[in-house]
Amino acid sequence: MESESLLTPDERVLPTLNEDGSRRWLSPRPSVGKFWHGRRVVAYLLIVIFSAIPWIRINGRPAMFLDIVHREFTLFGKVFLPTDTLLLGLLMMIFFISIFLVTALFGRVWCGWMCPQTVYMEFLYRPIEWFFEGKPGKRKPKNFRGLRKVLRFVVYFIVSLHLSQTFVSYFVSADHLSHWILGSPFDHMTAFTVVMVSTGAMMFDFGFFREQTCCVVCPYARMQSVLLDRDSLIVTYDPSRGEPRGRKKRASKEPGGDVSLNVLELGDCIDCTMCVQTCPTGIDIRDGLQLECIGCAQCIDACNVVMDKIDRPRGLIRYSSQRTIEDGKHQFWRPRVVIYPLILLVVIAGFVTVLVNKESTDVLLMRDKGLPFNTLSSGEIANQLRLRVTNRTDHDDVYTLSIVGPDGVRIEERYSTLEVKAGKEESIKFPIFALPRLFPDASVMIFVRVTNSDGSYTKDLKPFKMHGPYWKEDPDE
Ligand code: SF4
Ligand code: SF4
């Protein structure tokens, strides 16, 4: 008995769980209003953009191609190679600081308006469900219910397959994907497996897991408490207007007619629960800001319809800030609204500077593994080096390595050229030879130059230290 009281919570701990811990299945009622119309436009625009990007080409390259196998990212026609760690790092910083800033200003606008989970769930998978099974409150008759469910999941499968193929095309390129789709799966088993696994994951997510992704899995929701402040724009209920809530008795509309005391005492909230019934995460916004609120504004649309019906001003639930709702004040300028943009400006300036000053070729000369030097039978000293060249141009090129100095250092001609394809990286191992008299200090600095085929790129590399045995002049010679 005691263990039962310990295990049974006083109230529902998650909006998507019943008190006994079983799943509380949600069927949010659609609420059509200005925010729903706006979100629908944004959602379909994003779906079109997501589907189109792999097919768009800029400067002959895909607009976005994340070639993980060859460690090469193409963004808006610009190729980023493994040597661009700094640029990619700065790009990631720009992305995250922008999220911090947008959240500080506009709350969870990303979640409610742009996140793929919301976009696909509310504007693709949910309408498909409604098409086959009817909207909540207007469910279709029970005949053929099983068949309708099967058909719904068949359409889910087709949609999920298309989405996962589009997703995979970001990593393998749209051209490859179309070629593979027309061929046998056995010719490209890895890509086929990835597509099928991600199709299954989407079916699971949008067909079964749904709002749990936002409520339980998404890390962004958990960061809200630090990213939001009292002046961030959020979807919020105005208790000063709505409370005390309750159903009103109808007041006489006759001039001088009876006005029920009940009407005068109660706030604008008639406790119709339409805001709760429409919420895709099943919460009651009247309980205040909650982690599960994705800022989708469906409750605003639902409540506005109610307010219109009872002839009260719209906006009992509205976009506002906690400070405005509680104190009637709004403070736009606060430290994070100044600091985030300043950091963002610095990082963007750094990114642009690095990008603009990036050379067409990256060259790196380094020592290869093994002994620091060998002494050949001819007496010459050999060091084993490695040259790595990254060709960032859009044409293949041949690079020539030459010794600028000192005299007595040479490389073999067969190792002095390296062909590198456009946007690729190549490396070559080669020995470099020097006369023993160059090593009175057991080392000598050598000067190396790299030039491309038409001479448009010439680079004198940092002096390189060759090692050798101490050399002492023989006084008898
Ligand atoms: S929809 Fe509006 S009136 Fe109805 S319960 Fe919600 S806040 Fe109250
Ligand atoms: S409370 Fe309102 S804004 Fe928040 S998730 Fe529910 S319907 Fe959307």
Ligand 1 atom index nearest CA of 276: 6
- Do 309 and 385 fall into the same domain? no
On the question of pLDDT at 367 being above 80, the answer is yes
Index of the ligand 1 atom closest to the CA of residue 310: 3
Confidence check: pLDDT of 252 > 60 = no
Q: What is the pLDDT of residue 2?
A: 46
Residues 64 and 142 in one domain: yes
* 163 and 197 co-located in one domain: yes
Give CA angle at 320 (319, 321), nearest 5°: 140
Report the nearest-CA residue for atom 6 of ligand 1.
275
The answer to whether the CB of 301 falls within 8 A of the CB of 274 is no
The mean pLDDT of 78-90, rounded to a whole number, is 82
- Clarify whether residues 295 and 196 are in a common domain: no
473 occurs within a structural domain? no
pLDDT at 256 over 90: no
Across-strand partners of 374?
A: 382
Residue 259 has pLDDT above 70, yes or no: no
Ligand 1 binding residues, C-beta < 6 A: 237, 242, 269-275, 286, 302-303, 306, 316-317
Q: Which ligand is nearest to the CA of 122?
A: 2
- Identify whether the C-beta of residue 296 lies closer than 8 Å to the C-beta of residue 111: yes
Q: Which of 259, 57, 292, 48 is nearest to 166 (CA)?
A: 48
Q: Tell whether 234 and 195 lie within a shared domain.
A: no
Per-residue model confidence as pLDDT tens digits over 319-357: 999 999 998 888 888 999 999 999 999 999 999 998 888
Domain boundary among 199, 224, 249: 224
Q: What is the pLDDT of residue 360?
A: 82
The number of residues in the chain equals 477
Looking at 224-321, list the stretches that DSSP marks H as alpha helix, in order from N- to C-terminal side.
Answer: 224-227, 239-242, 261-265, 274-277, 298-309
Judge contact between 452 and 361, C-beta under 8 A: yes
Domain count of the chain? 3
> Residues of the chain with pLDDT > 70: what percent?
93
Lowest mean pLDDT among 79-93, 108-122, 340-354: 79-93
Q: Which ligand 2 atom lies nearest to the CA of residue 235?
A: 3
Report the DSSP pairing between strands 417-420 and 397-405.
antiparallel
Residue ID of nearest Cα to ligand 2 atom 5:
293
Distance in angstroms (rounded) separating the CA atoms of residues 190 and 196: 10
Nearest atom in ligand 1 to the alpha carbon of residue 270 is: 3
pTM: 0.78
Query: Which 8-state DSSP code applies to residue 125?
Result: I
> What pLDDT, on a 0 to 100 scale, did the predictor assign at position 1?
44
Residue 336 resides in a domain: no
Which of 271, 287, 301 to probe ligand 1 with, by most ligand atoms within 8 A of CB?
Answer: 271
- State the residue range of the domain holding 210: 34-80+115-224
Domain match, 217 and 256 both:
no
Cα distance between the two ends of the chain: 105
Q: Give yes or no for residue 88 having a pLDDT over 60.
A: yes
Boundary (domain end) residue, out of 224, 256, 277? 224
Higher per-residue confidence, 34 vs 73: 34
DSSP per residue, 201-233: HHHHIIIIITTHIIIII-HHHHTHHHH--TTS-
Query: For a substitution probing ligand 1, which of 241, 275, 276 has the most ligand atoms within 8 Å of its CB?
Result: 275
Which one of 279, 289, 290 would you pick to mutate in the ligand 2 pocket, going by the greatest count of ligand atoms within 8 A of its CB? 279
pLDDT digits 0-9 by tens, 144-165: 889 999 999 999 999 999 999 9
What confidence tens digit (pLDDT) does each residue in 123-142 have?
999 999 999 999 988 888 88
